[in-house]
A and B are shown apart, each in its own frame.
Chain A
Amino acid sequence: MARIELQNVEKRWGAVVGVRDVDLDIADEELVVFLGPSGCGKTTTMRMIAGLEDPSEGEIRMDGEVMNEVDARDRDVAMVFQGYALYPNMTIYENIRFPLRMRDVPKADQDRLIREAAAMVELEDYLDRKPGALSGGQRQRAALARAIVRKPQVFLMDEPLSNLDAKLRQAMRVQIKHLQRQLRITTVYVTHDQIEAMTLADRIVVMAGGSIQQIGTPDQIYRDPANTFVAGFIGSPPMNLIEGRVEGGTFSAPGISVPGLSHAEGRAVTLGVRPEDCHVAEGAAHLTGHVYGIEPTGDMTYLTVKAGDKLIEVKADRDFRADLDTPQGVTFDMDRLYLFAGESGERIR
């Protein structure tokens, strides 16, 4: 069982900075998700925890012990790679057995452990196939089985579901979360998919441009975003972000006027409001514009309203219908509004 601490960790390749200033404390048995767009340093951070990459600065500790100089093979960390990294020349059985063989697990126990691990991911029927003869989902599960078979201190998973179709992805998500709870192993999970992050994580670490933007539970990240990046990255569709000014306690932008925002007086700000906190208005409204698009999905209707040159997403009632280009008012939930500083994008509280 392991607690992982990263302190001021930085990774550079010459002038290229992959990751900077990472401070993170992962509790024992916690499932932490690194979330961010491609190229933001998620894989690099994970590889440093695994020992496949040496940090240029800072310290990585496991259970208080500094790991910087410890070789990857001595860290007792299991990783599921984005491309699975199964051994193509071995059968699935041999693949799962490999970590046991390398760690001198007695032969007598090996077979039982392999079959247990294979059963957990429902792969018993494929043990004598080679990876080349399996589908993406099956390879995925084989990689998982190989990782769990030796009960490591830490689990690392790098976008393990990114190659699967939507249905399988959802099934595997549930399976991974269940396995993690059952085995009680500290887990770091990397993804660029916010739904995956929200559903799996105990805590989410949102990253962008090589540094951490915010750390928090899925609820905190969703309800209390620290800056415009986090606000705009989480949620589907994402939060509406409207640039404007606050004068005399009123936020204004073309077609938009929201009174009662005195705490950012005289500043250029970005107003954030989630589509589900926007409501279709009949009379007086915070926003007046024209219907730009309307997308009924059955259980709700996505309404896009154009105000000035800004497109605002609204989650409307499933019965809502309107013709394109007709005038449309929208009101905002006043206690669910977010203000961010215009320049830095940091939250104004």
Chain B
Amino acid sequence: MTDTPLRDVGPAAAAGPASQIRRRRSRRMKALFPYLLVAPAVIYLLGITLYPGIYAIIQSFHAVKFGPWQPVGFDNYVRLMGDYQFWGALWNTFVIGSISLTLQCVLALILAFYAYRDPWVQGWRIVFLVPMLFMPSAVAFIYKLSFLDARVFSDLLQRIGLIDGNLAIQSSVWGSRALLILADVWQWTPFLFIIFVAALQGQDEEVEEAARLDGASWFSIFWNISLPLMKPVIAVALILRGIDITTMFTNVFIITKGGPAFGTETISYFIYRTGFKFFNFGYASAASVVMLILTIIIAQVVVKRAFVSARN
């Protein structure tokens, strides 16, 4: 945009009608411009989240197979409450999610605290992001190939003489869960690491030095000072990751397909199976809505507690 005609209201600029028209138009343009800039993002966001969200809520009150929608009131929800596969999926999601989240959080915290004043780490932060940059399905396939189908991992262990025969990870519920946890931890620890490093670097260095002079070891500084100050950041990171893990799908779909014996079937996979294998769309929508409500409640509780205790 040229700003000379906008600013210059002296006699020279007001001389011709052409310049006045140009000025008026650019002023309207100026007011509109920010909205135009964000419009694509907003439309996109509404299109892919709000619309399907409302659609799913409406659908959850209907029986939807292939024909027309039949309104059924709360039938889908009532049936859901008695569905042991739904509860099983909830439980699996909770078990896999909480173990994975705890592991990656603790691991990232330890790494971050160990590394955050290191100039090398500060310069090469981006390197730690690499696992996050891979396409999730590609990561899932690598894990599937390494541990299940091609059994690279079993083979390596056999060659160095640690085990006889193949590891039967597929046939063990906990083995399969461990595999999903491992893949998720590997892929997402760097994300938490980066966030925690940034939070630690933002903390007042003098406070830490004061603690050193007071006789605190590295661990007591971390435990007594850095960690409590990081609470809000940890809470936000856990919520972001928690929501992500609650909706874990890719790894389940590619690595375990929910097996063995539904032992790794997460909520997302349950919804997928209900919707796209049994084409029970209304029922799948009801499960989605329940999960959405659960996620919001949990996030709300975590945020509230973390922020209140940090402030006082």
Contacts and interface: CB of A to CB of B under 8 A. Distances in A.
Interface in A97-116: 98-99, 102-103
B215 A99 contact: yes
B84 to A, nearest CB: 45
Main secondary structure of the interface of A (DSSP, over half): loop
Interface stretch (A23-31, A80-88, A190-198, A328-336): A80-88
Nearest to A80: B210
Interface string B65-78: 00000000000000
A87 B213 contact: no
Interface in B17-61: none
B224 interface: yes
A164 to B, nearest CB: 18
Contact of A103 (B207, B215, B225): B215
Instruction: Bin the interface of chain B by size.
Output: 10 to 19
Interface string B228-244: 11000000000000000
Contact of B212 (A72, A82, A103): A72
A281 B209 CA distance: 57
B83 interface: no
A: interface residue count bin? 20 to 34
Contact of A87 (B211, B212, B217, B310): B211
B216 A102 contact: yes
A79 B210 contact: yes
Given A89-B225, A89-B229, A102-B220, A73 B206 contact: no
A146 to B, nearest CB: 7
A88 B224 CA distance: 11
Contacts of B312: 130
Contact of B211 (A77, A98, A130, A150): A98
B210 A81 contact: yes
B306 to A, nearest CB: 13
Nearest to A83: B206
B204 interface: yes
A88 B229 CA distance: 8
Contacts of A89: 225, 228-229, 310
B94 to A, nearest CB: 30
Interface string A30-72: 0000000000000000000011100000000000000000011
Contact of A102 (B204, B207, B214): B214
A72 B206 contact: no
Nearest to A74: B215
Among all A-B residue pairs, the 10 with the closest Cβ atoms? A102-B215, A99-B214, A85-B210, A85-B206, A89-B228, A103-B215, A81-B206, A102-B216, A72-B212, A85-B207
